[in-house]
Amino acid sequence: MRQELDDLVRRLEQCDDLEVDDAALQLGLILEANAGVQLEQGLLHDRLSSIELSERDESAIIERIVTLVERHEDAGRRQLFWVLSKASPEVLLVPLVKLIHKLASSFGEETAIQAVFALNNCLRDEDKLSASAALLQEYDLTVFLERMNTPSMSCRTNVVSSDLEKIRKAMNCD
């Protein structure tokens, strides 16, 4: 992994208050730019604007962020899920599904919403989703999504019922 990326992740690992740490924002922007999103000029620090991630780099970042999510209490997880939501769906889906399956019962509302947004980004391509049926059957997220599929959550995010439907459809495909 490039030194600049390693420095950003290390800053997150040593940060007490992830809500105000610029490293999370910069990592998210790098992942987003890597996925082809055109960023506004000046959002990404100059020294980071030319970074192009390989799939290996992105996997390494995701692996370290997942470890941070597992280590942090709920208050810090929201920002980390935001960072994960910016990663390429192809690289993120497996670790994200496993992470949500493992920790969903401990998520507060804000963290759960960010986890749903990250998951939604991975579920957009239904062909790839069908190819992930075995993963989705092994790490069933329907309980988590059903818990999120309430009127109060619907007014905050309209993706939960759509994700629930996509996952159920993929799980029924063999």
Kindly report, residue by residue over 114-127, the tens digit of the pLDDT. Answer: 998 899 888 887 77
Give the mean pLDDT of 120-139: 82
For residue 154, the surrounding DSSP H or E stretch is: helix 151-154
Give the mean pLDDT of 26-36: 91
* Mean confidence (pLDDT) of the chain: 85
> Is a pLDDT exceeding 70 seen at residue 20?
no
Separation CA 62–CA 16 (nearest Å): 20
Higher pLDDT, 154 or 26: 26
The candidate with the shortest Cα–Cα distance to 42, out of 56, 54, 55, 25, is 25
Rounded to two decimals, the pTM is 0.86
> Is a pLDDT exceeding 90 seen at residue 12?
no
Residues 77-102 pLDDT 10s: 989 999 999 999 999 999 999 999 99
List all residues 6 or more positions away from 112 whose beta carbon is below 8 Å from its beta carbon: 104, 144, 147, 148
